[in-house]
Each structure stands twice: as structure tokens, then as C-alpha cells.
Amino acid sequence: MFKFFTDKNWFLWSIGGTLVILLSTWYQVQLDVKINEWFGEFYDTLQKALTTPGSVSEKEFIAYLFSFAKVAGGWVIIAVFTGFLVSHWVFRWRTSMADYYHEQWKNARMTEGASQRVQEDTLKFARIMEGLGVGLLDSIMTLAAFLPILWGLSKQVSSLPWIGEVDHALVWVAIISALGGTVVLAAVGIKLPGIEYDIQKEEAGYRKELVLGEDDPIRAAPPTIGQLYDRVRGIHFKSYFHYLYFNTVKWTYFQGMVIVPYLALAPTIVSGAITLGFVQQITRAFGRVEGSLQYLVKSWATIVELLSVWKRLREFEKNLEYNRVKKADTIEQNI
């Protein structure tokens, strides 16, 4: 699965492409930082214009809007370019896997469901890695950029409801709430990867029987096909039950987190010690830090699918190696 990073034939994409993606993602995060600064200045200007008529000219106000359009336009261009590059980069990764499996096909075909592993699982692996990889990279860089900003802004927020004085309060609130949610969601959803693997396994057996039934009328006939479908139904119903309580906990957590920054800011807001622009800037920075720390929580369902695909491909490669060694031993014995 990871020969893409060790095969020198792919170094241009695996190493060079990775560096370009890192740079473009970092620049995109820097533009997001500028947008965050703009929100602070813009809402302060908006508050000034609303409370003191005539203090801000129409020209100045529109200039703020155009400055946002300039930064946001650059962000869009970089985001589109990065997404385009990542898609090509991941497809090259899939191609390196497919090339290896093609070369080993004589041994690979001896494994049940080999065609599904080579075609469907490599496709899923590539698509999942495209989303998760970019998300992880963006989360790390966003955290690196916005955590110092939130740390600085939090100097003006020194008190929390029911707790009292806390230095850099919002930083600790973001870290504790995000990591706490991650631990809870991981514990609640610990059974999901194994269930997803079982789903794919049962679906593969059901699909294989249907494929064989296209050429052989004896195959894919009752009661065999009915029994296979019953097993498919059973594992899906099991997954629905486990996702029921997992999604209940997940969405309760996310909805609750909407009010957390405002709750933490409550003593500071009611004291009138900060402006509307500061509120917008610090809540946005809080959201970026918290969102980065919540990467595992937000991506858990996708991670579950990735673990299932990875498990199937790893099993496939082990069987491939076993069949290769077995075939070599057979040839040696015949000689």
C-alpha cells in the first residue's frame, strides 16, 4: 500500500507533490489568518458606524468589502489548485498500488475477491486518503497558525463562568472540550471499524455469488442466495443500531459546542471590556483551533471506512505473499 513513497519511479509525485501540497496548504492557512484579522477590523468599523453616524464614510466601508474580496479570491484560487493537485497525487498513489497488484496478478487471482481488492478497494483507499489526508494536513497547519493567535487574544479573557480567573482561558477551553469530545466519541464508536469490515466481507460474498450466477444457473439460486442476503441484512441492521447511539452522542456534542465560546466569553462580554470586532475575531480563532483539534471526531465515520479498507488490503497483500511463496516452493519441489 505504501510503496508509492519508497519506489524511486514515483519520487517526483510522492516527494515533490507532497512538498507542493504542504506549501500551498500553508499559504491557504495564512490567507485564512488574514481573513480572521479582517473580521476583527470590519466588525469594529461596523460597530463604530452604527453607534456614531457619519464616523465612517461610504467609501471606507466599501473599501473594507473589497479588501475582503481580494484576500478571499486568493484563498479560493489556492484552495482549487490544492484540491486539483491532491486529486492527481492520490491517483498516482492508487496507480502505484495497482501496478504492483497487476504484476502479481497470477498470485493475486488465487485470493478470493481479488478483483474487488484491486479495483474497488484501491479506489476507495485513494478517495478516502484524499479527503482524510488533506483534512489532517489542513488541521495541523490551521492549529499551528491559529493557536498562537488565540493565545494572544485570550489575554483579554481572564475569567470563566463558575470557575473564575484563568490565564488564556479560551485556549484551555478549546483544548479540553475538543480532546474530551474526541475521547468520548472514540470510546462510543470503538466497535464501528470491525462492523464496517464485516459489512464489506458479507457484501463481497453476496456479490461473488451473483457474479458466478451470471454464467452458471446453479449459482445465485435459492436457498444459497437468500442465506447470503440474510447475512448481509443482519450485519447492516447491526451497524444501524451502533450508528444510532454513536450519532446521538456526536450531534449532541457538536450542537453543544456552538455555545461554548460565547459561554466562556460571557463574563467578559457583559462587562463591556471588548468590542464586537474582538468577539468575532476571537470566536473565529476559537472555532479554527477547536475544529483542528476535533479532526478525529469529525472524520470518525471516514476513518472507520479507511480502517476497513486498509484491513482488507493488508489481508490481501499477506495472501498474495503467501501464494507467491507457496508457488515458488511448489516449483522448487518439482525441479
Angle between helices 300-334 and 192-213 (to 10 degrees): 60
Rounded average pLDDT over 172-185: 85
No. of helices (H) and no. of strands (E), the chain: 13, 2
Indicate if the pLDDT at residue 113 is higher than 70: no
- CA atoms in the 13 A half-sphere facing the CB of 255: 6
Distance CA(281)–CA(194), nearest Å, equals 42
Tens of pLDDT, residue by residue over 309-320, are 777 777 777 777
Indicate if the pLDDT at residue 264 is higher than 70: yes
Dihedrals φ, ψ of 176, to 5°?
-65, -45
Higher pLDDT, 147 or 123: 147
Contact, 316 vs 111, CB < 8 A?
yes
pLDDT confidence band for 1 (50 / 70 / 90): low
For 3-334, which CATH class? Answer: mainly alpha
Amino acid found at 79: A
Rounded average pLDDT over 156-160: 76
Rounded average pLDDT over 310-334: 69
Distance CA(137)–CA(129), nearest Å, equals 11
Q: Give me the residue spans of the domains in the chain.
A: 3-334
Contacts of 288 (CB under 8 A, 6+ apart): 32, 36, 142, 143, 145, 146, 150
Contact, 158 vs 170, CB < 8 A?
no
Indicate if the pLDDT at residue 229 is higher than 70: yes
pLDDT confidence band for 237 (50 / 70 / 90): very high
The three-state secondary structure class of 61 is helix
Rounded average pLDDT over 79-103: 82
Indicate if the pLDDT at residue 112 is higher than 70: no
